Amino acid sequence: MEGSSLAPSLKNIAPQQEYLLQGSILDAHRDTLLHRLRGLCDNAESSFEMFNDYEAVYTLRNSSTTQQNDPFLFRVRRALDHPDAADHIRYLGNAEIGLGDRRPTLVRACLDVACSKNVREFLTEMGFRMDHDYVARGVFFHKGRMKVMVYKIYKLIQPGITDAKNLEQLGNSHVVELSVVAPLGQEQIGEDMKNFADQLKPLVLLEKLDHKNL
Amino acid sequence: MAAPSVNVCVEAALENPIQEVKYDGQEVYVAPLTMSENLSKLAHKINFFKDESEEKGKPTSEGERETDEEKVLAPFQPSLWPWDSVRNKLKSALTEISVLYDVLSIVKEKHYMVTDPVSQDAPELKAPLQMIAKKKSLVSVCQILNTGADRLKRVQAEMDSNTQDNFLWELLQLRKNWRLKKVHNTILGELSYKSAGSRFWQGGTFEVLKTSDLAAEGDVTNKKSSLDVSIPSELEGVAYIQVEVKSVPDLIDLTSATLKMPASLGAVSADAYWQQKLETAHNVLFCKELFAQLAREAVQIKGSTPHLVVGNQILTNVFPGFQLSIVLCHYTGKEKKVNLSPTKPEHNHVLEHSLHQLLRKVHDNNLNTSPPHPVNSMLGMTKRRRLAGPQAMSRQELVQMTHSESILEQIVKQTRHAVLRIRSMNVIDQLAITMQDPQICAHWSCLNNSLESSVRLTITSYCFEANRTPLILIIGIDNIRVILREGGTCVLSFEENELRDFLQWQICQHHAQSVQTLAKLHGWQVLSAIVSSGHGDIETYGTTSTVMLASPKGNVILAFHSSPVNGSKLSVKKVDTSLESNISPAVTAAKWASLAGEFKEVNLSQLEGRNLTGKIDMLMARLTVLS
C-alpha cells in the first residue's frame, strides 16, 4: 500500500483537501502576533483557546516494494488537556508542489478520522512502527472555516511520556499555520487565505513550504 | 443673397504732389524729401521759444530779443543751414538754465539770498462743520473695526465647531463603535450583523460625510458634530417587533385576523447625532432579519397548528382561544398619519426581548463553534458529534442530534408558558380572595425560566396552623404538575377550570385533615378517615372525604363529610348506652356499641366559630364537657 497509489482511491472516498500556509515567529514577538490575530479572527471577545496535543507519527514500511523512501505515514493525535476527546488519525498526501503550481497555498489530500483510545495498540498490531513523536502546545483561532494555529513544538526526551519534565523545546520560535480543509476544486479558498496572510505580513511571513526541501 | 466676393486691392495712394505736367501728358512729381530734409522740416515746427517763456518770467525779454534777431536774420539768409534756428534756441535754453543754476547755488549759500516761506493765514474753522467731519470719519473707522471683528468672530466660531481636528476626533469615536473602511475617497461603514454571525442577505453600508462640506459659505450653523452619516434608504426610519398575545374566544380560525396599525413612533430627525442614527438603522436591520427568519419558519415548518403569515404579521394559535401575533412595525416617517385604532394593542415586552435573544443565540451558534481538540479535527462540529464516530452512535441518535428547534417554535413555547402561568396565577388569586375559610397562601419561586415556573401553595386554617396542606405546582409549557401532600404527583392540563376544581378538592381534604387533628387535640377517637369515600352520589369532580370521630366517653359520634361540590356536612349522634339492649360479646367498649343509628345534621353556619375548624373545635369541646 503505497502512498501514491492510495491517493487516487482517496479521492473517491472522501475528497478532502487541505490548503496550508506556514510560517514562524520568534518567541519574543509571539504576543504581538496573538493580539493581531485576536483582532482579525472570529470571537474577539473571548479569551485565547489553548491547546496541548501530543502527536505520534506511525509509519508502515513495505518491504515488498522497491521504493523504500516513500513510507506510508499516519499521524495520531491526542489532546492532552481534554482527555475525554477522541483520538484522531490523520493521513496527509503528498503536496503537488513544483514549478507548475501557481496556487498560493500548499494543497494536499487530507483524511481525518476520529477513533477510540486504543488506536496505538491497534496500529502497532497491524505492523506500524512509531517513527517520532512530539508535543504541540499553543493557541488556536478560527475565522470562518480557516484555522490559525500558533504553537510551539516540544521534543520528547523519552518517547511516549508526556510529562512536563520530559519535554524539551525545539527552537526559539513558534510555528504559525493557516489551514483550511475543504473539498476539491475550490480555488477561491487559496485567494482568501493569501489575503489573510497578507494582513499578517510584517509580523510573520506565511508561505507555502516545500516539505521535501526541508 | 450673398453677392460674390469682390477682390479689393489696397495700395498706397500716390502722395507726391505733381510739379508739372509735360506736354506729352507725362506727370513730373516733386521729388520726395530725403531723410535729412524731412527731419529739418519737422525740426522747424518745434517752437523752442514758446517753452522757455512758460517756465520762467525773467529772461522773457532776452528771448524776445533773440527771436527778433532770428526773424531779422531769417529773411537775409533763408538758405542757411536748417539747424541754425534749432541751435540758437538750444543756446538760449542753456543760458536760461545756467542762470537758474546760479541763482539756486546763491540761495543755497544763504549769504546773499535767502528763501522764506510765505506765511498764509489759517483758514477760518467752523465748529459744526468740523464736528460733522469728525463724525463721518469716526463712523468709517467704526465700520472698518466692525467688519474686522465680525471676521474674527466667525473664524473663532468655525474653529470651535467645524474644524478638521473636530472631524478627526469624531471619526475616532465612530471607529471605536463601528467597522469602517476607506474606499477611494469615501469612508464606508458596516451596519450589518455579519461579523456577529448573521447570514442575512441584506447588508447595510453607511457613508461618512463631513458637515463642513455641506454647509453654505459663511453660514455658521450650530451643529453638534462635524461628522454626518448617510444611511441606506431601506434602513431608514424606526422599526420594532410588536408581540401581542390576545384572547379571541370565538375566533378559533385565523383567517379573520385584523391588521391593526399601532401608534406611530417618531422618525429619527435629520439632525440627530450620528450614533443615534446608526443605532436606529442597526435595529431596523435586526428586526427585518428576525421577521424574515420567523416568516420563513412559519411557512416551512409543519407544526401541529397552522401559522398564518399576512404581510408583516404572523399569527398563530397557542391555545384554543389564545392567539399570538408578531408584527414587524417599520416607520420611515413618510407614511400619512393613520387614525389610531381605539384599542391600543398590548405589547408584550418580555416576549419581544426573548425574540431578540433567540436570534442573537442563532448568530452566536453560527460563529462560536466549539474548538476542536485535538486541533486537527474539523471545525464546526459539536463535541458530541465528534465523539459520534468512536462511540459508534446509531443513526437515530445522530438524527436526534441534528434536530434543533426553530425560533418560532421556541417563542410559541414561551408564550404558552407565559399564558399558562398568568392564568394559574389568576385562578389561585381568585380562590385566595374569595375563600376565607381555609387560607391559601402562594409563594412563587424566584428561580424560574421562560419555560417553567413553580409555586408553593399552603392551605391553612386560621388559628389552627399546626395542620398545613402544602402543594407544589410546577407550571410547564402546556401542563401543570402537582406534588401533593403525601408526595404523589399528578398532571393537570392547561384548562383553568381543572386547576380550580383541583384546588377545591384539596381544600376539602384539608378540612377533613384538620378535623382529624382536632380529634388528637381533644382526645377523641378517630373511628374512620377516608379520603375518597364511596358512599353518596358521585360528584362531578373530586371525591368526598369523610371522618368519623367518637368522644372519649364514647357517647357522641361525629361524622364529617367534605365534598368539593356539595360542601361540608357535619352530623352528630348521641348515644345512650343505657338504652342499648342486645350487646354482642364482640363489642368490647360502649363506644363501639352503636355505630349506626340516627345522625342529626348540624347547621354549621350557625355554630360559633371563626372558621369551620374553629366551629368543630368549639362543638367538640362542648360535647366533651357534656358527656
Structural domain that includes position A184: 20-206
Partner A contacted by B176 (CB < 8 A) = no
**Which band of pLDDT confidence, cut at 50, 70 and 90, is reported for residue B338?**
low
Between CA B227 and CA B245 the distance in angstroms is 43
pLDDT of residue A60: 82
Instruction: Find where cell 478532502 sits.
Output: A16
CB neighbours (10 Å) of residue A59? 14
Q: What does the angle CA B537 – CA B539 – CA B542 come to, to the nearest 5 degrees?
A: 130
**List of chain B residues whose C-beta atoms are within 8 Å of the C-beta of residue A85:** 373-374, 383, 386-387
Residues 6 or more apart in contact with residue B432 via CB below 8 angstroms: B439, B440, B441, B442
| CATH code, domain with A162 | 2.40.320.10
Judged against a pLDDT cut of 70, whether residue B515 lies above it is answered with yes
Q: Which pLDDT score is estimated for B162?
A: 57
Answer with the residue of higher pLDDT: A6 or B199. Answer: B199
pLDDT in tens, B141-188: 999 999 999 999 988 887 776 556 677 888 888 888 888 888 888 888
Asked whether the predicted pLDDT for residue B129 surpasses 70, the reply is yes
Residues in chain A: 214
Helix (H, G, I), strand (E, B) or coil at A189: helix
CA nearest to B501, candidates B562, B438, B431: B431
Measured in whole angstroms, how far is the alpha carbon of residue B207 from the centre of its chain? 18
How many other C-beta atoms lie within 10 A of the C-beta of residue B95? 15
How many structural domains does chain A have?
Answer: 1
pLDDT at A6 over 80: no
Please give the Cα distance from B52 to B97 (Å, whole number).
10
Q: Is residue A75 part of a domain?
A: yes
Query: Looking at CA atoms only, how far is residue B369 from chain A in angstroms?
Result: 9
In a domain, A6, yes or no: no
Q: Are B548 and B558 in contact (CB under 8 A)?
A: yes
State chain B's mean pLDDT as an integer. Answer: 80
pLDDT 10s digits, A157-186: 887 777 777 788 888 889 898 888 887 766
Beta-strand ranges (E) seen in B476-619 are 480-483, 489-492, 525-533, 544-550, 556-563, 567-574, 600-602
Residue-level pLDDT at B444: 94
A67 in a domain, yes or no?
Answer: yes
CA A105 – CA A102 distance, rounded (Å): 9
**B386 in contact with A at a CB cutoff of 8 Å?**
yes
- Measured CA to CA, the distance from residue B217 to residue B232 in angstroms comes to 28
Is residue A162 situated within a structural domain?
yes
* pLDDT for residue B430: 93
- A49:B371 CB<8 A: yes
Task: Report yes or no on whether pTM surpasses 0.80.
Answer: no
Sheet containing B322-331, strands listed edge to edge, beginning at the edge strand earlier in sequence: B238-247, B322-331, B313-319, B307-310
Within a domain: A7: no
The 10s digit of each residue's pLDDT in A16-57 is 788 888 888 888 888 888 888 888 887 777 778 888 888 888
Angle, CA of B584, B588 and B590, to the nearest 5°: 90
Give the residue with greater pLDDT, B402 vs B524. Answer: B524
Q: What is the pLDDT of residue B611?
A: 87
Contacts of A95 (CB under 8 A, 6+ apart): A20, A106, A107, A108, A208, A210, A211
Q: Give the per-residue pLDDT at B593.
A: 61
Which pLDDT score, from 0 to 100, does residue A11 have? 46
CB contact under 8 A, B377 and A81: no
CB contact (8 A) between residue A112 and residue B377: yes
Across the interface, do A147 and B375 touch by the CB < 8 Å criterion? yes
Is A143 inside any structural domain?
A: yes
* Residue A1 located in a structural domain: no
Q: What is the pLDDT of residue A10?
A: 45
**Poorest-pLDDT segment among A7-11, B347-351, B607-611:** A7-11
Measured between beta carbons, the chain B residues lying within 8 angstroms of A181 are 378
Are residues B390 and A116, on separate chains, in Cβ contact within 8 Å?
yes
Q: How far B516 CA sits from the closest chain A CA (Å)?
A: 58
Question: Within a domain: residue A142?
Answer: yes
Closest Cβ–Cβ partner in B367, B374, B389 for A42: B367
Residue A89: pLDDT band with limits 50, 70, 90: confident
pLDDT digits (tens, 9 = 90+) for B189-247: 888 888 787 888 888 888 888 765 544 444 444 455 677 888 888 888 888 888 888 88
Residue A3, pLDDT score: 40
Higher pLDDT, B525 or B20: B525
Which of A78-87, B69-78, B515-524 has the lowest average pLDDT?
B69-78
Contacts of A17 in chain B (CB under 8 A): none
For residues B386 and B375, give the distance between their C-alpha atoms in angstroms, rounded to a whole number: 12
CB-based contact (8 Å) between B389 and chain A? yes
**B368 chain-A contacts, CB cut-off 8 A:** 42-43, 46
Flag whether residue B387 sits within 8 Å of chain A, measured between CB atoms.
yes
B375 vs A contacts (CB less than 8 Å): 51, 53, 140, 147, 149
pLDDT digits (tens, 9 = 90+) for B248-264: 765 544 444 444 445 45
For chain B, domain boundaries: 169-333+347-365, 415-496, 508-577+587-626
Query: Is pLDDT at A15 greater than 90 in this prediction?
Result: no
Mean pLDDT score, B315-329:
84
